[in-house]
Chain A
């Protein structure tokens, strides 16, 4: 009995997976970075506190929000630069979404 193993398939999976992950995470992180640059620091309080998980307390969240507001006020960028950064942020988020949807389309079309 000959046992043939398609090693190339593993390489394919690895390449596809790492490319997809880097694209999605990279663009999302870039989007966040631009959002911060545009003076809109996201402060996301956890949806619900489950016991025993120290995520971020309400006090901490308030402190973060204050720091974010302060940083936004001291932002040295001009309004034009800020809006460019904001557009860039949304573009990065959009690219991230396109990468995800594209991957799913590839899987569905590939069967």
Chain B
């Protein structure tokens, strides 16, 4: 029993660490655009993001229930078997996260988490322990669909925003005012981040508690202390992560106009919030990237740089299987070596955490290790400085030409 308690504590510690890195990594999703267009002062933006992440984590626990209750048939497994597997899955997730971070590959912390858990369970118990229906309908399909959905929505609302504020007489169009609006939309994105990302860690901790028999499987909702711990951790991570992003942001977003940023953020926030309410666990990073690309396409005359889009998409698709493989390896150690395997895994985890810490302490910040992926996806769309005329403008120029010709005659 003592070993079970020890592993449980390790799982909770690792899960909270994962939560922290998640917040650390994702501040940029919410706050890169308002800082870049100058809507918010960096300090204010980071504080706001941290606070709203905290609030968002309390708003809805649907996603946590998906993780703790849906993916793994925890009721069919023995507690002593499941706990080390959750542990192995977490190690898989953190390892993959760190690898992609070091290599500058775009990836998703959420998918790393799920990949790790699924991989470890597959190896440790077998396919029958995983509810593929839930995995498919609440994780894999949302992962594929959500960025596209967000892109379509962002495209639509960008068109709407530009169409409503367009003026044909060349007078000021007031689009500067979207900069005020961005303060609210980016706050909503931070809130949405809390309702989806903090939940994943809550789900894992709750799953571990159920596996250890400290919580009954019928009541899969996270307990209050779990919610508070996760909310505070992700808020702390968001706050700490912000400073790094601010330093590097200058190289990130190039040409996001206030109207476009406003639309992209409105789309991101509404997609994530609607998904959270139904318990879909999606990657906030991918949704935000999809929105940025979609809103770029919503501007006149823009073209897609398919090479960049492809690079981003491959990183996304790779995450689930790759972190699954790492999780499976960690689980293999446990299956083959028993308690010794757990010790080896724990040592590995400590090494990875330390390496991550040292890496973040190193002052060198360049595009490869610290740039926001969302900002990066802005480069996937090429927007000309001088957009082609709208239909109405073409008609106006044609009419002007015709009247000129009339006047000369």
In the complex, the answer to whether A48 meets B42 with C-beta atoms within 8 Å is yes
Residues facing A in B170-190 (CB within 8 A) are 171-181, 184-185, 188
Q: In this complex, what residue of A is CB-closest to B277?
A: A107
In the complex, the answer to whether B164 meets A30 with C-beta atoms within 8 Å is yes
For the complex with contacts A1-B133, A13-B278, 9 further pairs of A-B residues with Cβ separation under 8 Å are A3-B133, A14-B149, A21-B266, A28-B262, A29-B160, A36-B174, A42-B174, A64-B176, A111-B60
Does any Cβ of B come within 8 Å of A79's Cβ?
no
Distance from A82 Cβ to chain B, minimum over Cβ atoms (Å): 14
Q: How far is the CA of A43 from the CA of B60 in the complex (A)?
A: 37
- B277-320 vs A, CB cutoff 8 Å, 1 = contact: the mask equals 11010000000000000000000000000000000000000000
In the complex, the answer to whether A46 meets B165 with C-beta atoms within 8 Å is no
Contact residues of A: prevailing secondary structure: helix
Distance from B132 Cβ to chain A, minimum over Cβ atoms (Å): 6
Residues on A with C-beta less than 8 A from B150 are 17
Some 12 contacts from A to B, beta carbons below 8 A apart, are A9-B278, A17-B267, A17-B275, A20-B266, A24-B185, A25-B263, A46-B179, A47-B44, A50-B38, A50-B249, A50-B250, A100-B184
Residues on A with C-beta less than 8 A from B337 are none
In the complex, the answer to whether B270 meets A16 with C-beta atoms within 8 Å is yes
In the complex, the answer to whether A25 meets B180 with C-beta atoms within 8 Å is no
Residues on A with C-beta less than 8 A from B161 are 25-26, 28-29
Q: How far is the CA of A44 from the CA of B93 in the complex (A)?
A: 43
How many B residues are at the interface, by size bracket? 35 or more
Q: How far is the CA of A25 from the CA of B161 in the complex (A)?
A: 6
Q: How far is the CA of A46 from the CA of B267 in the complex (A)?
A: 23
Residues on B with C-beta less than 8 A from A3 are 132-133, 136
Residues on B with C-beta less than 8 A from A51 are 250
Distance from B297 Cβ to chain A, minimum over Cβ atoms (Å): 15
How many A residues are at the interface, by size bracket? 35 or more
In the complex, the answer to whether B266 meets A25 with C-beta atoms within 8 Å is yes
Does any Cβ of B come within 8 Å of A71's Cβ?
yes
Distance from A57 Cβ to chain B, minimum over Cβ atoms (Å): 11
Residues on A with C-beta less than 8 A from B184 are 100
Distance from B371 Cβ to chain A, minimum over Cβ atoms (Å): 12
What 10 A-B pairs are tightest by C-beta distance, nearest first? A46-B38, A52-B250, A42-B177, A29-B164, A36-B174, A20-B270, A25-B157, A17-B270, A44-B179, A16-B274
Does any Cβ of A come within 8 Å of B36's Cβ?
yes
Contact of A68 among B172, B266, B270 (CB under 8 A): B172
Residues on B with C-beta less than 8 A from A50 are 35-36, 38, 42, 246, 249-250
In the complex, the answer to whether A47 meets B41 with C-beta atoms within 8 Å is yes
Residues on A with C-beta less than 8 A from B171 are 36, 67, 71
- A79-110 vs B, CB cutoff 8 Å, 1 = contact: the mask equals 00000000000000000000010011011101
Residues on B with C-beta less than 8 A from A2 are 133
In the complex, the answer to whether A28 meets B136 with C-beta atoms within 8 Å is no
Residues in chain B within 8 A of chain A (CB atoms) = 35-42, 44, 59-62, 132-133, 136-137, 141-142, 145, 149-150, 152-154, 156-157, 160-161, 164-165, 167, 171-181, 184-185, 188, 191, 195, 246, 249-251, 253-254, 258-259, 262-263, 266-267, 270-271, 273-278, 280
Q: In this complex, what residue of A is CB-closest to B154?
A: A21
Distance from B61 Cβ to chain A, minimum over Cβ atoms (Å): 7
Residues on B with C-beta less than 8 A from A49 are 38
Distance from A35 Cβ to chain B, minimum over Cβ atoms (Å): 6
In the complex, the answer to whether B38 meets A111 with C-beta atoms within 8 Å is no
In the complex, the answer to whether A48 meets B38 with C-beta atoms within 8 Å is yes
- If the complex has contacts A28-B178, A33-B164, A35-B177, are A17 and B274 also in contact, measured as CB distance less than 8 A? yes
In the complex, the answer to whether A35 meets B174 with C-beta atoms within 8 Å is yes
In the complex, the answer to whether B38 meets A5 with C-beta atoms within 8 Å is no
Most B-side CB within 10 Å, residue of A51, A55, A71: A55
Q: How far is the CA of A16 from the CA of B142 in the complex (A)?
A: 15
Q: How far is the CA of A13 from the CA of B13 in the complex (A)?
A: 34
- If the complex has contacts A26-B160, A36-B172, are A13 and B249 also in contact, measured as CB distance less than 8 A? no
Distance from B136 Cβ to chain A, minimum over Cβ atoms (Å): 6
